[in-house]
Amino acid sequence: MLPLPTYRFGRRFAQLLSGLGCFGVGVALMVRADLGLSPWQVFHQGVAEKAGIAIGTATILTGMVVLLAWIPLRERFGLGTILNVAIIGNMMNLSLLALPDDLGGLAVRLAAMAGGIVLIGLGSGLYIGAGMGPGPRDGLMTGLARRGLHIGAVRTGLEVTVLIVGWILGGTIGLGTLAFAVTIGPLIAFFLPRLTVVEV
């Protein structure tokens, strides 16, 4: 039997990987639904359109740039932070290759959109609950908040900014954007307490 600290790390690491994978698949479903994306993904899609790269690749590159902003903010990253950058974008690209380009009728697209949002909420609960480091965008938000800014204002300001810039670049805004904004908070609030690894 594994020593307890090793077992705990293994459990947290497996949960982290599962969460990041779920998150990537969820975003891919929303992309294929073509009904609108979350603010950051609108930005990533816009960057991908202009640069001629896959949206998952744009997600990875954006994550790297955001991590550079952590340096002056003196944010501390963990293993989960690095894997967040690497895994979500690659999982998005793989999932998009596996999914059909056209999902068909509106009912199927709505189901894909809803399923994608739920998977993103579940994935967020899993990887945040693993407690192995925040994602790049979350760390940027909390780092700015520690400089005396209101965290709600920071989050809103960041998301509105990337949403507008992403839309100008060609990202998709629509029903999915609104549905994500309304439901992601309650979904994470539901999943996170049930998935947080408690040290005993």
pLDDT bucket at 3, cuts 50 / 70 / 90: low
25-29, 144-148, 161-165: segment of lowest average pLDDT: 144-148
Looking at this protein, which amino acid is placed at residue 133?
Answer: G
Q: Helices H, strands E: what count in the chain?
A: 8, 0
Mean pLDDT of 30-37: 97
Mean pLDDT of 47-62: 97
Mean pLDDT of 8-14: 91
pLDDT more than 90, % of the chain: 73
Q: How many other β-carbons are positioned within 10 Å of the β-carbon of residue 186?
A: 10
Q: Does residue 1 sit within a domain? A: no
Mean pLDDT of 1-5: 56
Instruction: Extract the tokens encoding 73.
Output: 């903010």
- Condensed to tens digits (0 to 9), the pLDDT of residues 124-156 reads 999 999 999 888 988 888 888 888 878 788 888
Q: Which helix (H) or strand (E) holds 174?
A: none
Q: Is the pLDDT of residue 39 over 70?
A: yes
Q: Is the pLDDT of residue 200 over 70?
A: no
Residue ranges making up the domain that contains 152: 8-195
Which of 106, 109, 98 has the alpha carbon at shortest distance from 30?
109
Q: Does residue 43 sit within a domain? A: yes
Mean pLDDT of the chain: 92
Which pLDDT score, from 0 to 100, does residue 120 have? 96
Which pLDDT score, from 0 to 100, does residue 4 have? 53
pLDDT bucket at 177, cuts 50 / 70 / 90: very high
Domain count, the chain: 1
Integer angstrom CA distances of residue 68 from 16, 37, 73 = 22, 25, 9
Q: Does residue 3 sit within a domain? A: no
Which pLDDT score, from 0 to 100, does residue 1 have? 47
Which pLDDT score, from 0 to 100, does residue 156 have? 87
DSSP characters for 89-146?
Answer: HHHHHHHHHHS-S---SHHHHHHHHHHHHHHHHHHHHHHHHTTS---HHHHHHHHHHT
